[in-house]
Every structure is written in C-alpha cells, then in structure tokens.
A and B are shown apart, each in its own frame.
Chain A
Amino acid sequence: GAVVSQHPSRVICKSGTSVKIECRSLDFQATTMFWYRQFPKQSLMLMATSNEGSKATYEQGVEKDKFLINHASLTLSTLTVTSAHPEDSSFYICSARDLGTADAQYFGPGTRLTVT
C-alpha cells in the first residue's frame, strides 16, 4: 500500500524557536496533503489542506502565520511551527491523497512535538 513518512518522529524544542516537520509520500504523488493535530484522548483535528503549488487552506481558528505550510512538490509538504509555545505541544499527523486511488487518505506516523 501507499506509504507516507514524517520526519522527525519526535522533537523537543525551546519556547520561541521554530520547528519544521516534513511529510513525504514515498511511492505515490499527492497533489493534496492534509495536516492534523491530535491532543491526548481527543480526535484528529484538521488544521489545513496543503495543495501542491498553491497556498494552503487553513481551518477556522488555525493561525496561518504560526503554522506555515509549504507544498513544494507532489511528494513533499512541510509544516513549520513558528515561535513555538508550550501550548503547541501536540501530536501532528499528515496525510496524503493518492492521485490514483482517491478513496482513502494515507497517514504518516505522526510527529510528537514538545515545547519546553
């Protein structure tokens, strides 16, 4: 099946610094990638939809200047958490839609961000 990778899997950073998370579709092309956030014991919350070659579409309540999304190629999307604060600590998950089979999204393994 289709594989989506995320890097890093786990990151600890100091408050005020920025962190970049990469999401890659390894064996398929994805014009659309999605970024989710999951708090402990809560559902997956869609943050933004990332479209290759265009600006991301952010969900209501998500600060686009804080969560910078770049989808530079059909296999790579990045999420940069700028000026991170402890409340940004969370589990961030990306997913990618396979151009060939549009009936399911494939998820990355997630990135655990801890801001101290």
Chain B
Amino acid sequence: DQQVKQNSPSLSVQEGRISILNCDYTNSMFDYFLWYKKYPAEGPTFLISISSIKDKNEDGRFTVFLNKSAKHLSLHIVPSQPGDSAVYFCAADWSGSARQLTFGSGTQLTVLP
C-alpha cells in the first residue's frame, strides 16, 4: 500500500518555464512533508519542506504547496533551469515515526534548454 504517491514518473519542461511536481498521500497522520532532489548515483539532497500547519513555503525558486483536505502537495520550480534536471522525491513524515520518511516513487524532471 503506497502511502505517498507520485503519479507522474517523468516531466519535461522548457527552460525558464514553471515545473510543477505533484504528490499525493493517504495517511492523515503525516504532518511534515519534504522534497528531495536526486541525481543518478548520488544520495538525495534536501530541497524544501512544509509543516501541516502551513499551506505554502517558499525558498528562492522553489515553492511547496500543501492542500491537506485533498492530501496533496506540489513543488513549483520557477524559473526552471537545465541544472534542475533530476529525480524529485516527495517524502512524508509524522512526529510519532522517529523521523522515518515515507518516500514517493519519484518524478524524473527534464528541463530542456
């Protein structure tokens, strides 16, 4: 049973445009959400996070939106750059889990020059 789902395995976007990566979750216990970026043969790199008490968090070109009623979050990258091409993982956490993250399956983002 996948508790965190990223239904789009891949996404292609033109450089300079907006990239929108989506993530859905089923476990209402999750209260913290994170996005990680991963290049091949490297460990994930933390990008941005959001607590369930917020509906938006922004950091530079990256913004995460959380819709708790829909159990949906999204990562917006504006403007997209070729260096953003990577696999993006959505992860969820809850305070009772000893910080065991539950990951989505990832979305391969390709930013075309």
Q: Which residues of A contact B (CB under 8 A)?
A: 4, 6, 32, 34, 42-44, 46, 49, 91, 93, 95, 97, 102-110, 112
Contact = CB atoms under 8 A, between A and B. Distances in A.
Nearest to A9: B41
The dominant DSSP class at the B interface is loop
B46 A49 contact: no
Contact of A107 (B32, B45, B102, B104): B45
Interface stretch (B12-20, B58-66, B72-80, B93-101): B93-101
A32 B99 contact: yes
Contacts of B32: 103
A108 B103 contact: no
Given A43-B89, A43-B106, A44-B89, A107 B44 contact: yes
Contacts, number: 50
Interface residues of B, number: 20
A105 B99 contact: yes
B39 to A, nearest CB: 10
Nearest to A44: B103
Contacts of A112: 41
A43 B89 CA distance: 8
5 contacts: A32-B99, A46-B100, A104-B34, A104-B46, A104-B49
